[in-house]
Chains A and B, each alone.
Chain A
Amino acid sequence: MSERSFTYVGTRPIRHDGLDKVTGRANFGADFALPGMLYGHIVRSPHAHARILAIDTSAAEAMPGVKAVLTGREIPKTDAKIMMAEGGFDLGDMGDNLLAHDKALYQGHAVAAVAATSPEIARAAAERVVVTYERLAPVMNVDQAMAADAPILHEDLVTKGKPLPDAPKRTNVAMRMELRRGDIDKGFAESDLIVEHTFTTPMVHQGYIEPHACVARVGEDGQIVVWASTQGQFIVRDACAGILGVDAAKIKVIPSEIGGGFGGKIPVYLEPIAIVLARKAQRPVKLVMSRDDVFKASGPTSGTRVRMKIGVKQDGTIVAASASLYYEAGAYRGSPAGAGAMCCLASYKVPNFFIEAYDIVVNRPKVAAYRAPGSPSSTFATESVLDEIAHRLGLDPIELRLKNAASEGDQAPYGPKYGPIGLAQVLESAKNHPHWKAPLGPNQGRGIACGFWFNAGFNSSAVVSLSGDGSATVVTGNPDIGGTRVAQALMVSEELGIPVERVRPTVADTDSIGYNDLTGGSRVCYATGMAVIKAADDVRDQLRARAATIWNVKPEQVRWDAGRAVLVEGAGDQPPLTLNELAAKMAHTGGPIVGRAAVNPPMAGPGFAVNICDLEVDKETGVSRVTRFTAIQDVGKAIHPSFVEGQMQGGAAQGIGWALNEEYIYDEEGLMQNAGFLDYRMPVASDLPMIDTVIVEVPNPLHPYGVRGVGEVPIVPPLAAVANAMRDATGIRFTDLPLSPPRVLEALGHD
């Protein structure tokens, strides 16, 4: 497969949906309007932890222009499940999160909603809803949550997995798991050097620029149509069906263009509320989050505490590792602590290890996925400790990693053996990259780190149809966040020989395509791409059969060659028929040509990356600047290299922001202090240099072109790459992120 040469795959055509995006025509979630539409507004808890004693909506209902009011009473807590991606997903917590029932579990938790004829009236009406709270003491971090006398968020919470034997029954620990191998006591006893540190990473937000938005319409017959910005229109449909107790066949979800997601637009926050308001008012309802809502009431990712201990021989060979991971779940169970545990040692051969991971509820918003969820925080710990080991032993950081790098046939920490993987290749590429040898200036340091993430499979459907003029459409069900539509067109072009400008890619609603799991998990080019290729091949086989009809031979006597049907040796001497000629004769030879495929492939092999980061530190102000950054990643096969590079650069920027400046800041009462882009400081153009990328291709044997997936790995290495550069620049090992100026100044001794 690595020998296959491609005609279209690997080129860089302009994306089909690009014109609408540079002219402002593309319709995102809040750009949609319907006649008679009302505007919704959500009433949110001002307290981090409180019992809801009463909600009085009478004053709001009496306001002119208010057409519907809603509380949790009308959406009872459900025990329905949906088949989402990895399996049965319990909707009870999602339902309680989107509209509280008994308790407000974080500042911003929705407790009521109104719909009115203008946004101003809706806002005013929301302020007239009177909620009576009994305030409770909040727990805001893992230490507070695990303290002996901690306030408990959920009285019925039981620790899943493997709780400690002496753990208390009333608890905020939602899950504990372990991974073990070998004998760590023996391993550490045999080590020549042991380094152990405890690291913290802050809760951070995915930071998508487009807030959540939807419009819902309910007909007199109960048929529901929802327009939503989402990473998964089928998730929206099935979650609404489950939460509201409605048949999924009564709901159609149309995905808008999506203004960023990164995992944060997988959960459902607004749509069920909009539907019930629309049903009550018998008018469509638009619901849009404000930026303040997005920070306080959508799902950021976990803040963490990670203890990491690694023991090595004098020559750097890793002998043993032990880690304890404590992850904030937010108000309901479900942090990526387990994934963090599975990832933190995945890059290396470690003969003895013990990893424990805790999922802990706190009075913060329920965390959602954020690009390789779990991996960046735990990898930050591993890569920082390895960096320290390299320093202390006088070893080159790349050589240390190469010496211990996992490769094909090695057993992953989570059990199975690796197939072909590209870790050694990305490390070698880093070693030979000019960045690695470039001289550094004053107050500059250089850091390097590796990263790992799985690449998901899951369900995808695709339909490829031909027009009479030989052009084609390809229809799939994955919202396009990063250029996947043009990649799908390229795959159709590759299989059928149709120029990419004559292939029209479409992202369909839930009525118009078979079931599709979410956009995310680095899966679209792999799994949906697989479905697209198979659907195109279905078209190709039909074209061969049509040619056979025209030539009056058997289909087995026709082969397909670069866009034409050709008779096999000995079957006749008619000249080949082009795709255009065959398409023109569709009606005569059997009717429309429609190819279909539906797949649910296993997980693609994992992706590995290495980042090299140069950081310049101003020792008087504590401000640091990335002066040079190189991201090297094994992607299996790059379908459209520009968008693959884009994923690598975007993930790097998010990781740099996480390392240098982003964090949720709370006061003692659990109220967020920086819920806006001014003080929640994400990287801007003047903060970053050009981000150089190197694409490595170790084909994934499970995909026809070798595609592995690219989207998530990029955010994993930057945290440690930046911190290791800081160590190199200042001599100080920072174990707590972000490396914001006040923290750096304090560590440097200037308060």
Chain B
Amino acid sequence: MAKLHVQTTINGEPTEFLCEPAETLLEVLRNRLNLTGTKEGCATGDCGACSVLLNQRLVPSCLVLAAEVDDKDLLTVEGVATGATLHPVQQKFLEHAALQCGVCTPGFVVAAKALLDRNPNPTEHEVRYWLAGNLCRCTGYDKIVRAVLDAAESMRSVPA
């Protein structure tokens, strides 16, 4: 079967690629587009390491067919910072030492950004339940939750 031609926008850039019908978005990002920041932890949608935003919605890219993103808007971890300015979530992760091996970090950064885009003042409970789809084996989540709460606070205190 011939490959499919997909046109989409990734991190603000118009992007096009060819893919097999059965290829997942995760496979295309990593193997065809050299966007290896999004990680594969399980390929069954259970670990969140492959989290991306698809039309601003948090999805596991291993459960999205690459063909589905035609004419849509994608954000991966590579697009979270603005030029040389880190997103507050990224900055707070560094300050709080909220990463140890760092492989789950891209997924958490995308997921946390999605949370704060919707809910600028989450409680600890809300942060924990929003991030329940992102597995981390190194940190026990303590510093991750603190970093996200701190990022929320710093974003609220920036004048609009």
A residues with CB within 8 A of B: 12, 14-15, 17-19, 21-28, 30-31, 33, 119-120, 206-211, 257-262, 288, 290-291, 481-483, 640, 642-643, 645-647, 649-654, 676-678, 682-688, 690-691
Contact = CB atoms under 8 A, between A and B. Distances in A.
A291 B77 contact: no
Contact of A650 (B42, B94, B102, B138): B138
Nearest to A21: B102
A744 B81 CA distance: 46
A682 B135 contact: yes
Interface in B68-106: 76-78, 80-81, 86, 90, 93-97, 99-106
9 contacts: A18-B94, A31-B36, A209-B39, A210-B103, A288-B40, A643-B100, A678-B44, A686-B132, A688-B141
B104 A209 contact: yes
B49 to A, nearest CB: 6
Contacts of A211: 40-41
Contacts of A645: 97, 143
A569 B31 CA distance: 66
A690 B143 CA distance: 8
Interface in B42-78: 42-44, 46-47, 49, 76-78
Interface of B: 20, 22, 27, 30-31, 34-44, 46-47, 49, 76-78, 80-81, 86, 90, 93-97, 99-106, 109, 124, 127-129, 131-146
Nearest to A654: B137
Nearest to B146: A690
Contacts of A688: 128, 140-142
Given A261-B101, A643-B97, 5 more contacts: A21-B102, A259-B104, A649-B139, A650-B137, A654-B137
A209 B133 CA distance: 13
Contact of A677 (B39, B44, B86, B142): B44
A28 B94 contact: no
A646 B127 contact: no
A119 B37 contact: no
A215 to B, nearest CB: 13
A267 B70 CA distance: 42
Contacts of A481: 100-101, 138
A208 B43 contact: no
A22 B143 contact: no
A645 B142 CA distance: 10
A265 to B, nearest CB: 10
B100 A209 contact: no
Given A23-B77, A209-B47, A483-B97, A684 B132 contact: yes
A646 B138 contact: yes
Contact of A259 (B101, B132, B140): B101
B102 A691 contact: no
Contacts of B36: 24, 27, 30-31
A260 B94 contact: no
B81 A23 contact: yes
Q: Is the interface of A mostly helix, strand, loop or mixed?
A: loop
A645 B143 CA distance: 9
Given A211-B40, A259-B39, A290-B43, A21 B139 contact: no
Nearest to B91: A22
B41 A291 contact: yes
B37 A23 contact: yes
A200 B93 CA distance: 38
A12 to B, nearest CB: 7
B135 A260 contact: no
B43 A682 contact: no
B66 to A, nearest CB: 13
Given A643-B97, A646-B100, A688-B140, A21 B105 contact: yes
**3 tightest Cβ-Cβ pairs between the two chains A and B:** A24-B37, A259-B103, A21-B102
B105 A482 contact: no
Nearest to B31: A119
A209 B97 contact: no
A23 B80 contact: yes
B90 A23 contact: yes
Contact of A22 (B42, B94, B142): B94
B40 A690 contact: no
Contacts of B41: 209-211, 291, 677
Contact of B139 (A17, A291, A646, A686): A646
Contacts of B39: 28, 30, 209-210, 259
A661 to B, nearest CB: 13
B135 A209 contact: yes
A649 B137 contact: no
A22 B93 contact: yes
A652 B140 contact: yes
Contact of A690 (B20, B93, B94, B142): B142
A15 B46 contact: no
A301 to B, nearest CB: 14
B44 A685 contact: no
Contacts of A654: 137
Given A211-B40, A259-B39, A643-B97, A650 B139 contact: yes
